[in-house]
Amino acid sequence: MSGPPSIQYVKGVGPRLAEKLAARGVRTPLDALYFFPKGYEDRRRIVPLRSVKPGMTVPVKGQVLGVRGGGRGWGGRRLFEVVLSDGTGRLSAKWFHYRPSLAERFRVGETAVLCGPVRLFQFRLEMHHPEILAAADESDPVNMGRIVPVYPVVEGVPPRTLRKIQWEVVRKYASTEKEVFPRWILDAADVPPVHESLETLHFPPPEADAETLLSFSSPPQQRLIFGELFYIQWVLARRRSGVMKEVAEPLPWDREIVAEIKKRLPFRLTDAQRRVLNEILKDMSLPHPMHRLLQGDVGSGKTIVAWVAAMVAWRKGVQTALMAPTEILAEQHYNRFSALCEGLPVRIVLLTSSLSAPKREKAREEIREGKADVVIGTHAIIQEGVEFREMALGIIDEQHRFGVLQRAALRGKGRMSPHLLVMTATPIPRTLAMTLYGDLDVSVIDEMPPGRKPVETAVVAEGKRNKAWERVRKELLAGGQAYIILPLVEESETLTLRDARKTYERVREAFPDTGVGLLHGRMKPGEKESVMRRFQKGEIRILVSTTVVEVGVDVPEATVMMVEHAERFGLSQLHQLRGRVGRGSRPSVCLLMVGGEQGEDAAARLSVMERTNDGFRIAEEDLKIRGPGDFAGVRQSGIPDLVFSDIVRDARILARSREIAITLLERDPDLSDPEHAGVKGWLERKDAAASAWA
Going by pLDDT thresholds of 50, 70 and 90, the confidence category of residue 175 is confident
Give per-residue burial for 17-48: e unless 16+ CB within 10 Å, then b.
bbebbbebebbbbbbbbbbbbeebbbbeebbe
pLDDT exceeds cutoff 70 at 254: yes
Longest dimension (CA), the chain: 93
Q: Which residues contact 283 (CB under 8 A, 6 or more apart)?
A: 290, 292, 419, 441
- Which pLDDT does position 251 carry in this prediction? 93
H or E segment to which residue 147 belongs: strand 147-150
Q: Please write the tens of the pLDDT for every residue from 595-649.
A: 755 555 677 778 889 888 888 788 777 777 765 554 444 444 445 567 778 777 8
Q: Please write the tens of the pLDDT for every residue from 240-249.
A: 887 778 888 9
Going by pLDDT thresholds of 50, 70 and 90, the confidence category of residue 693 is very low
Residue 312, phi then psi, degrees to nearest 5: -65, -40
Q: Could you list the beta-strand ranges (E) of 542-615.
A: 542-545, 558-563, 589-594
Q: Mean of the per-residue pLDDT values for the chain?
A: 84
**389 closest CA partner among 363, 366, 411, 422:** 366
Going by pLDDT thresholds of 50, 70 and 90, the confidence category of residue 347 is very high
Q: Please write the tens of the pLDDT for every residue from 425-478.
A: 777 777 677 776 777 788 888 887 776 778 899 998 888 889 999 999 999 999
Going by pLDDT thresholds of 50, 70 and 90, the confidence category of residue 561 is very high
- Which pLDDT does position 375 carry in this prediction? 96
CA 49, CA 133: separation in Å to the nearest integer?
A: 16
pLDDT exceeds cutoff 50 at 73: no
Q: What domains are there in the chain, each with its CATH number?
A: 45-145 (2.40.50.140), 178-242+650-694 (no CATH), 255-445 (3.40.50.300), 456-612 (3.40.50.300)
Going by pLDDT thresholds of 50, 70 and 90, the confidence category of residue 74 is very low
- Which pLDDT does position 167 carry in this prediction? 93
- Which pLDDT does position 633 carry in this prediction? 44
H or E segment to which residue 170 belongs: helix 159-173
The arithmetic mean of pLDDT across residues 16-41, rounded, is 88
- Which pLDDT does position 480 carry in this prediction? 93
The arithmetic mean of pLDDT across residues 12-26, rounded, is 90
Q: Considering only residues 44 and 282, tell me which one the structure prediction assigns the higher pLDDT.
A: 282
Q: Please write the tens of the pLDDT for every residue from 200-214.
A: 888 888 888 877 887
Going by pLDDT thresholds of 50, 70 and 90, the confidence category of residue 689 is low
pLDDT exceeds cutoff 90 at 226: yes
pLDDT exceeds cutoff 50 at 692: no
Q: Please write the tens of the pLDDT for every residue from 301-341.
A: 888 999 999 999 999 999 999 998 888 788 889 988 999 99
